[in-house]
Amino acid sequence: MVSKIFSFFCITLLFLASPSIGCGSENREKSFTLSRCIEIALRNSTSARKAENTLKLQGTDVLRNYGNFLPRISTSASYSPYTLNRTYAPNYTGSAITNIKTKSKTVDLTVTSSLNLFNGFSDYASLQAALNKENAAEYTLSRALQAIAFDVTQAYYQVLLNQELLAIARENLLLAQNQLTLTDRQFQIGLKSIIDRDQQQADAAESLLSVIKAETRMQKSLLELVRRIQIDPLTKFSLEPLPEDLNNSLLIKPNPDTLVALAFQRRSDLKGKEFEVKASKWQVTKSRAAFYPSLDVTLNVGTGGIEYFQQNTGDLPYPSLSDQLANSIGYSVALNLSWTIFDRFQTRYNVESAKINQINQQYDYDDLKNNILIDIYEAAEEYSAALMQIETAKISLKAARSAFDGIKKRYELGSASFIEISSARSSLFSARSNLSQATYNLALQKSVLDFASGNEVIPSQPESSQPLK
């Protein structure tokens, strides 16, 4: 029965280990580096494109506020091709009332320009607030790109780790199968009992199950990477391994105090929040502008003309319509002063609302600084622990390998039991897995530390903003 189960697992592994059979062999497999994955994610990420759109909109808002310092110009024109008027008026002698019927066409042209001279510094405050918001949007976009790169980096490392764990599980399965072959031969010549052979078959089947689970974890992590870089899930690709010199650069213990100082200078979200605080201060100034009067200057230029078709009181010697338009141009300049004496406390409410928003923005800024400090100290401690974990894993692997080699020789000679060889091989498998996990955990903690301290981890941003497939 155990032998049949083992054969079933072997067939299952054959299909899982050969994904290129069938339609997969028709597609050429691509090879992606970490930098390439980040580049694709930056192009395809909707959150990055939303942040870019917000920045563009904020730039348009700055232009709008610059326009508040320029005069407003408007023009109007009216043309009436036919007008019929009927009125009563005394005749020339004054002795009777005459009904007058007039047919005419009229043209009127007006150009108006107005310029605000003073409005309580509302326009200036609005411009300063818009400039600060634009700067904040730029840093928000930068932080969003860093977050995407950080997320893709973690997913990339996880795939590499699961691939290595899968390779270790397969090697462990190979050892179990070889051990099963040896045990079966020893059983045939009477050196091992049927119990030892059945136990070894069960151990090999369990090792095969471990391979299947490792394969499932690897495929799941690969799909999570695909989700983050947002490409076609059916795309066939492989990942480039990390450079050999990466581990050497990771063995330096970080100084959290230095990293905190650097983070306060480099963190894009902190700089963006600082500009948001400045913008909220200018919003208070803008709200207070309603307490002051507003002064505008207005310039009007207009002309008009009327051409009569018929008038029953006789023809009047009117000039032509073009002459009227040219000679009837009028100008006017006016200063308009307006001051709201009482607005039912609406301005007072707006000022208080702006002040509270400023206070809340300052709270957010202070909380962010504190969180940065805590995150860096936590990341530094985790990084130091990851360094120690690697050293411990190396020592454990050396001891487990030595123990397995010794017990294996004894088992082959018949002086060691199945439980001893199985336990030694399990310890070796666990030690190798722990070393791989410790190695990638160190790389992951390094990326966490870089992200927390605001270190730039994004490759050169591609020129095109079109999504990649």
Q: Which domain-ending residue is among 320, 338, 356?
A: 338
Q: Verify that 225 and 303 share a domain, yes or no.
A: no
Per-residue model confidence (pLDDT) at position 5:
42
Please state whether the predicted TM-score (pTM) of the whole model is above 0.85.
no
Model confidence over 174-215: pLDDT tens digits?
Answer: 988 888 887 788 788 877 778 878 888 888 898 899 999 999
**66 domain residue, yes or no:** no
CA distance 238 to 42: 19
Q: Verify that 129 and 85 share a domain, yes or no.
A: no
Q: Is the pLDDT of residue 28 over 70?
A: no
Per-residue model confidence (pLDDT) at position 6:
45
Q: Is the pLDDT of residue 127 over 90?
A: yes
Per-residue model confidence (pLDDT) at position 460:
37
CA of 362: how far to CAs of 265, 281, 369, in Å? 18, 10, 11
Q: Verify that 315 and 354 share a domain, yes or no.
A: no
Within a 13 Å sphere around the CA of 175, how many CA atoms are in the beta-carbon half?
19
Q: Read off φ and ψ for residue 415, nearest 5 degrees.
A: -100, 0
Over residues 37-56, the mean pLDDT reads 92
Nearest-5° angle of CA 441, CA 442, CA 443? Answer: 90
End-to-end CA distance of the chain, in Å? 49
Per-residue model confidence (pLDDT) at position 13:
45
Q: Is the pLDDT of residue 459 over 70?
A: no
CA distance 201 to 180: 6
Model confidence over 375-427: pLDDT tens digits?
Answer: 999 999 999 898 889 889 999 999 999 998 888 888 777 777 778 888 888 89
Model confidence over 241-277: pLDDT tens digits?
Answer: 876 655 555 667 788 999 999 999 999 999 999 999 9
Determine which of 166-170, 178-182, 329-333, 369-373 has the lowest per-residue pLDDT on average: 178-182
Q: Is the pLDDT of residue 466 over 50?
A: no
Domain count, the chain: 2
Confidence of residue 356 (pLDDT cuts 50, 70, 90): very high
Per-residue model confidence (pLDDT) at position 141:
94
**421 domain residue, yes or no:** yes
The pair of three-digit structure tokens given for residue 263, joined into one six-digit string: 């983070």
Q: Verify that 98 and 174 share a domain, yes or no.
A: no
Q: Verify that 164 and 253 share a domain, yes or no.
A: yes
Model confidence over 56-72: pLDDT tens digits?
Answer: 999 999 999 999 999 99
**316 domain residue, yes or no:** yes
Per-residue model confidence (pLDDT) at position 421:
80
CA distance 9 to 169: 14
Q: Verify that 386 and 331 share a domain, yes or no.
A: no
Per-residue model confidence (pLDDT) at position 247:
57
The strand pair at 72-90 and 97-118 is best described as antiparallel
**461 domain residue, yes or no:** no
Per-residue model confidence (pLDDT) at position 16:
43
Mean pLDDT over each residue of the chain, to the nearest integer: 84
Q: Which residues contact 29 (CB under 8 A, 6 or more apart)?
A: 20, 236, 237, 238
**Closest among 421, 430, 15, 432 to 204, alpha carbons compared:** 421
Q: Which domain-ending residue is among 285, 306, 338?
A: 338
Question: How many H-runs (helices) and E-runs (strands) does the chain carry?
Answer: 11, 6
Q: Read off φ and ψ for residue 85, nearest 5 degrees.
A: -120, 140
- Helix ranges (DSSP H) in 189-232: 194-229
At residue 235, the 3 state secondary structure works out as: coil
Q: Is the pLDDT of residue 146 over 70?
A: yes
The pair of three-digit structure tokens given for residue 90, joined into one six-digit string: 């005394």
**52 domain residue, yes or no:** no
Per-residue model confidence (pLDDT) at position 244:
63
Q: Is the pLDDT of residue 23 over 80?
A: no
The amino acid present at 308, given as its one-letter code, is Y
Q: Verify that 348 and 327 share a domain, yes or no.
A: no
Q: Verify that 242 and 312 share a domain, yes or no.
A: no
Residues above pLDDT 70, as percent of the chain:
86
Structural domain range at position 110: 75-118+296-338
Q: Read off φ and ψ for residue 260, nearest 5 degrees.
A: -65, -45
CA distance 268 to 260: 14
The H or E element that residue 51 is part of is: helix 46-67
Kindly write down the DSSP assignment for every residue of 264-305, as one continuous string.
HHH-HHHHHHHHHHHHHHHHHHHHHGGGS-EEEEEEEEEEEE
pLDDT top residue among 402 and 23: 402
The strand pair at 237-239 and 72-90 is best described as unpaired
**129 domain residue, yes or no:** yes
Model confidence over 290-325: pLDDT tens digits?
Answer: 999 999 999 999 999 888 766 655 555 678 888 888
Q: Read off φ and ψ for residue 87, nearest 5 degrees.
A: -140, 165
Q: Verify that 355 and 411 share a domain, yes or no.
A: yes
Model confidence over 81-117: pLDDT tens digits?
Answer: 888 888 777 766 656 677 777 888 899 999 999 999 9
Burial class (CB in 10 A: 0-12, 13-18, 19+), 426: middle
Q: Verify that 234 and 261 share a domain, yes or no.
A: yes
Confidence of residue 448 (pLDDT cuts 50, 70, 90): very high
List the CATH number of the domain containing 272. Answer: 1.20.1600.10
Q: Verify that 97 and 132 share a domain, yes or no.
A: no
**63 domain residue, yes or no:** no
Q: Verify that 267 and 368 share a domain, yes or no.
A: yes
Model confidence over 278-291: pLDDT tens digits?
Answer: 999 999 999 999 99
CA distance 446 to 448: 5
Q: Is the pLDDT of residue 232 over 80?
A: yes
**Closest among 174, 205, 235, 196 to 12, alpha carbons compared:** 205
